[in-house]
């Protein structure tokens, strides 16, 4: 949802969803951060993108990453 809103130029709405997600203690993934940062840069909101980059880097170990999305192989 955040990716789609950001791509369509609705970065304010994407940020609202992102903030709501964090308020509900849902752990954002690295991909959500990267998507939001990219879309903010495209919309000229570089300062906000930089602050999200710093936030992402400061909590890097707590973010959902590739291993959290991997499926277990069944034997």
Quick one: pLDDT at residue 29? Answer: 84
**pLDDT of 12 above 70:** yes
**pLDDT of 73 above 80:** no
What span, in angstroms and rounded, lies between the C-alpha atoms of 7 and 25?
A: 25
Q: Decide: helix, strand or coil at residue 64.
A: strand
Quick one: pLDDT at residue 46? Answer: 95
Give which of 12, 63, 66 is closest to 39, Cα–Cα.
12
Count of residues in the chain: 75
Residue with tokens 């170990």: 61
What pLDDT, in 10s, does the model give residues 13-58? 999 999 999 899 888 888 899 999 999 999 999 999 999 999 988 8
What pLDDT, in 10s, does the model give residues 15-24? 999 999 989 9
Q: Decide: helix, strand or coil at residue 29.
A: strand
What span, in angstroms and rounded, lies between the C-alpha atoms of 39 and 34?
A: 9
Quick one: pLDDT at residue 26? Answer: 85
């Amino acid at each position: 949802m955040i990716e789609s809103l950001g791509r369509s130029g609705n970065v304010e709405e994407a940020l609202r969803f992102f903030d709501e997600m964090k308020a509900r203690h849902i752990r954002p993934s690295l991909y959500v951060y990267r998507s939001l940062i990219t879309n903010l840069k495209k919309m000229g909101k570089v300062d906000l993108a930089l602050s999200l980059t710093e936030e992402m880097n400061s909590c890097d170990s707590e973010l959902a990453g590739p291993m959290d999305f991997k499926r277990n192989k069944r034997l």
